[in-house]
Structure 1
């Protein structure tokens, strides 16, 4: 009698499973509907809802003027995804709300008719090629919050070309993002620049000497790639990181002069692809062969102390006394290269400090020219 109980129990268990299955089935469509609610369209835009906000993922290619809403389904729009507007060839204008913090790579690449973009006040990052080949985009009001700028984010835009014409050392919020139009053999990066951006000096074949002020803490990926004539790098201190392949193909790089000690230099994070830099002779704790213009105290920046030294020397010369400058200091004080240090040079130094302190990126070349 006991032998038939186990097969019977198995059959009954199977029947119970079959009977109970319809009770589970209605839950599956409900789950799918919940997933579907996370994506949708508003106007010409496609979006996806995430836990902390909405992301714009696509725009209709026929769209001409687009206003991105601040909120979708009660959630703030925080991001424009990569490729979202790419090849929207009819797009002429887009207004981006202040809720957006990130614009992904290729987001507006090749929007050839795009002329007007309202960038959000809280924008923190733009990806690689973000506005690349937006040839008619001439004006951009870039917020001070923008600190991460991808490779070629503004390449082939009218805005970048205008900036290059005004100053070949193009800065955005203290990041030097482009110096590819520099034609000189020696370049002095202005005090206040904190970062040399991705491929900033790419293929500047004439460049032989680069001088970095103490304010520079980071050199990004490929910053000096293919600067085949670069021989000397001067680092005034505080450098913390050198990105991947920053000095790749700098085949003539032979010397690095730095006020940093050997221990301090050893703490600099140097990523792969910088073998040519690491093979160069490092001159630690060095008194640099040439001072940066106006940096008479060799601090790596131009400030009121330098103004004092220049004024003192000019005053002492005026009454027949020795200026007290070393030859290197006298050369650094001769801003206009006239061969004599006078009130004109003092004026240039004061103007340089005032403009850069006010957040107006200014180089000596701009002033003296």
Structure 2
């Protein structure tokens, strides 16, 4: 009987210790400074946790009680429909992170969202469901656009990423039915198969020698080449003339080699092969004939 009582006592003590441990783990120490609420981030910094001001524009402050603001706390503004804009102009150079689902379903956010260069990390679903953002300017130095980060941003039309973005994860820009253009650099080396799920209007603004162009081509998305090369400008002088016909002929005769984007430009009739028909098509264009292909215009697909 004593063994049973002792066993039960140990179980109760263990349970109490577990509950205390979980409670302590989940506890968040909050600080108030004016209209803002903050949580501990580390010994020198705090994370923005809440805002109770009268302005609909959330101005991210530089500091709180002598400690710099380094981030936005996870779920900090979840379902907040009062905020119409986020102003990062006052944030310090140490502000580098927007946490997981920090602004999820903030449907009041509208217009252009511009992320500052100091940001190096975005959390999963950070701006998911922000249905009234129309343009995203990512000046941020983030290498990864995480899963669902801008999922269900139904009014989003233009995305300009920074040269630091290397990967775009699952559903990052999914369910953005009006997304028209996304600008991507050659730094991008991975895009999830579901990154643009149900965002069927998107057109990739990419460079010829880039993973993003290959991805767009393989996944059936239209794209525009940011290199600025025109269809039929085979010699790269920014003009389309008889010299380009000569360059095609010399390439076919193996007297000169046309490679890369200029070989792409030499495919005048856009049938996937550079041959005599391309030279003929270009000669007809120069002679004033109406041609079905956009000769002389920036390369697209």
The interval holding the TM-score normalised by the smaller chain is: 0.5 to 0.7
348 and 137 in structure 1: CA distance in 2 versus 1, 3 angstrom threshold: same
Offset from partner CA, 1:114-156 (integer Å, 9 cap, x none): 2265533312222221111111222443215233321221223
1:100-249 correspondence runs (5 A): 100-115=95-110, 117=113, 119-157=115-153, 160=156, 162-163=157-158, 172-174=161-163, 175=165, 178=173, 192=186, 194-198=188-192, 199-202=194-197, 214-216=209-211
Which of 91, 106, 118 lines up with 1:98 in the alignment?
A: 91
Distance 1:93 1:124, change over 3 A: same
Change (3 A) 1:172 1:195: farther
1:260-271 aligned at under 5 Å gives the runs none
Equivalent-residue separation in structure 2 for 1:73 and 1:110 (angstroms): 30
Residue 266 of structure 2: aligned partner = 333
Q: Please provide the CA RMSD for this pair.
A: 5.1
- The structure, 1 or 2, with the larger RCO (C-alpha pairs under 8 Å, 6+ apart) is 2
Shift of 1:67: 2.2
Q: Do the aligned residues in 2 keep the contact of 1:61 with 1:89 (CA within 8 Å)?
A: no
Cα distance in 1 for residues equivalent to 2:118 and 2:48: 17
Relative distance call for 1:109 and 1:180 in structure 2 (3 A) is closer
SS in 2 for 1:141: strand
Q: Aligned pair in 2 of structure 1 residues 84, 315: CA closer, same or farther (>3 Å)?
A: same
User: Which structure dedicates a bigger proportion of its chain to helix?
Assistant: 1
SS of residue in 1 equivalent to 2:49: strand
Determine the C-alpha separation between the residues in 1 that align with 2:210 and 2:44: 36
Structure 1 position 178, deviation (Å): 4.7
Using the size of structure 1 for normalisation, the TM-score is: 0.45
Distance 2:107 2:199 in 1: 28
- Structure possessing the higher radius of gyration over alpha carbons: 1
How far apart, CA to CA, are the structure 2 residues paired with 1:44 and 1:155? 30
The corresponding residue for 1:272 is: none
Structure 1 gap segments, 5+ residues each: 1-35, 164-169, 183-188, 206-211, 225-229, 234-292, 295-300, 353-363
Check whether the contact 2:127–2:150 (CA below 8 A) recurs between aligned residues. Answer: yes
What is the correspondence of 1:9-20 to structure 2 with a 5 Å cutoff?
Answer: none
Deviation at 1:103, TM superposition (A): 0.4
Find the aligned partners of 1:83 and 1:317 in 2 and give their Cα distance: 60
Q: Tell me the residue number matched to 2:290.
A: none
Q: Which of 37, 44, 48 is the aligned partner of 1:46?
A: 37
1:62 deviates by 9.3
| Matched residues, number | 223
Offset of 1:40 from its aligned partner? 0.8
**Which 5+ residue runs of structure 2 have no aligned equivalent?**
1-26, 178-182, 201-206, 272-277, 287-292
Q: Aligned in 2, Cα 1:38/1:200: closer, same or farther, shift over 3 Å?
A: closer
SS at match of 1:322: helix
* Superposed displacement of residue 108, structure 1: 0.5
The answer as to whether partners of 1:334 and 1:345 remain within 8 angstroms in 2 is no
Deviation per residue, 1:28-67 (Å, 9 max, x gap): xxxxxxxx99631224432123223111134459984432
- Scaled by the length of structure 2, what TM-score is found? 0.54
Q: Please tell me whether residue 71 in structure 1 is matched to residue 63 in structure 2.
A: yes
Give me the whole-angstrom Cα distance separating, in 2, the residues matched to 1:181 and 1:336. 33
| 1:324 counterpart (251, 255, 273) | 251
